[in-house]
């Protein structure tokens, strides 16, 4: 009996959705930073189980659901909410250390009328004392008819096997959707752009990470030399932001490029030649036409 299906990973910003996706797949598919709203697009990660429980689990990591105020954030939340219509199971993550908050309540309200099985996944249990876990689970089980409540640590892997087993129980029978050598449906260009954006988020401060985007202009492979040449543009809204990203004598841009190149070489198992540019597009985060195309 082979099972296959789609599992949406939802939750408010910074609860560990991308870390969970990477842990489940066993490879860094989604970028991870300590800052909220790192994930902007749905990212698919594929996990294949072998005998005795054969299955293909297709996980969808989504942007954090919150009460969005800007056009960019509204599009991100809309994309996450659309996941409800396209999956077989939902995993709602909450932060064990911070407990249930008003943003979690907003998500539960969004789940009203949804007939999908919803697992409540209590993440980051490595950050709390175990005696505090049971009272939290007891409180949360009364808030919504969750199919299961499963405590995990996506960082350490604790509870992941239990979560996988419970998902397998509910997956429908069916053939695999992807060949077993595919980990994600995202293109190599997308992965490269996300790696660059991760370094911007980690290295830049204040509003810069939230006012920048990355577009890969060129991605060329030289199979004979095992070399990939990548040209990418970092888009910002103001000249002052451009200056900060370039840094004194180009130091900031060089550091972003160096760290991104090392990660790309690990992911693509090839030498990387990376060229970065910074361009200004005024108010791109509020430009509806540009956002939809982006």
Query: By C-alpha distance, which of 153, 64, 62 is closest to 106?
Result: 64
Q: What is the pLDDT of residue 222?
A: 96
State pLDDT tens for residues 36-87.
889 999 999 999 999 888 999 999 999 999 888 888 888 899 889 888 888 9
State pLDDT tens for residues 169-225.
999 999 999 998 899 999 999 999 999 999 999 999 888 999 999 999 999 999 999
Same fold flag, 3-170 and 188-293: no
Query: By C-alpha distance, which of 32, 81, 31, 72 is closest to 290?
Result: 72
Helix ranges restricted to H, the chain? 17-25, 71-82, 102-111, 133-140, 160-170, 188-203, 239-246, 251-268, 288-293
Q: What is the pLDDT of residue 83?
A: 87
Whether the full predicted model's pTM is greater than 0.85, yes or no, is yes
Q: Quick check: 117 and 137 in contact, CB under 8 A?
A: no
Q: What is the pLDDT of residue 63?
A: 93
Distance, CA of 38 to CA of 209 (rounded, Å)? 9
For helices 251-268 and 188-203, angle between their N-to-C axes, nearest 10 degrees: 140
Structural fold of domain 3-170: Rossmann fold (3.40.50)
Hey, CA dihedral for 120, 126, 127, 133, is it positive or negative? positive
Q: What is the pLDDT of residue 225?
A: 94
Distance, CA of 79 to CA of 291 (rounded, Å)? 13
CATH class, range 188-293: alpha beta
Q: What is the pLDDT of residue 42?
A: 93
**3-class secondary-structure state, position 19:** helix
**Strand runs labelled E in 34-156:** 43-49, 55-61, 89-95, 118-123, 148-151
Instruction: Sketch the domain layout of the chain as residue ranges.
Output: 3-170, 188-293
Q: What is the pLDDT of residue 131?
A: 85
How many residues are given for the chain?
A: 294
Query: By C-alpha distance, which of 187, 160, 209 is closest to 267?
Result: 187
Type and span of the H or E element at 129: none
Name 189's Cβ contacts closer than 8 Å, sequence gap at least 6. 216, 219
State pLDDT tens for residues 232-291.
999 999 999 999 999 999 999 999 999 999 999 999 999 999 999 999 999 898 888 888
């Amino acid at each position: 009996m082979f099972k296959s299906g789609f599992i949406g990973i939802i939750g408010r910003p910074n609860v560990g959705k991308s870390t969970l996706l990477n842990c489940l797949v066993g490879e860094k598919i989604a970028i991870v930073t300590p800052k909220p709203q790192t994930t902007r697009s749905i990212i698919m990660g594929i996990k294949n189980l072998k005998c005795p429980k054969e299955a293909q689990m297709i996980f969808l990591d989504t942007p954090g659901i919150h009460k969005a105020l800007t056009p960019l954030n509204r599009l991100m939340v809309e994309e996450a909410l659309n996941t409800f219509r396209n999956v077989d199971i939902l995993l709602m993550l909450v932060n064990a250390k911070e407990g249930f908050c008003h943003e979690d309540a907003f998500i539960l309200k969004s789940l009203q009328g949804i007939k999908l099985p919803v697992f409540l996944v209590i993440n980051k249990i490595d950050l709390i004392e175990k005696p505090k876990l049971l009272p939290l689970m007891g409180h949360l089980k009364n808030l919504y008819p969750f199919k299961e409540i499963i405590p995990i640590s996506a960082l350490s892997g604790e509870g992941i096997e239990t979560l996988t087993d419970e998902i397998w129980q509910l997956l429908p029978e069916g053939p695999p959707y992807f060949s077993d050598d595919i980990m994600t449906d995202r293109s190599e260009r997308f992965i490269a752009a996300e790696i660059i954006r991760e370094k911007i988020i980690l290295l830049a401060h204040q509003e810069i990470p939230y006012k920048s985007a990355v577009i890969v202009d060129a991605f060329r492979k030289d199979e004979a030399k095992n070399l990939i040449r990548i040209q990418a543009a970092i888009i910002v809204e103001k000249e002052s932001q451009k200056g900060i990203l370039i840094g004194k004598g180009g130091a900031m841009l060089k550091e972003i490029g160096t760290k991104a190149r090392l990660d790309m070489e690990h992911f693509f198992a090839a030498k990387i030649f990376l060229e970065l540019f910074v361009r200004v597009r005024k108010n791109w985060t509020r430009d509806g036409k540009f956002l939809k195309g982006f």
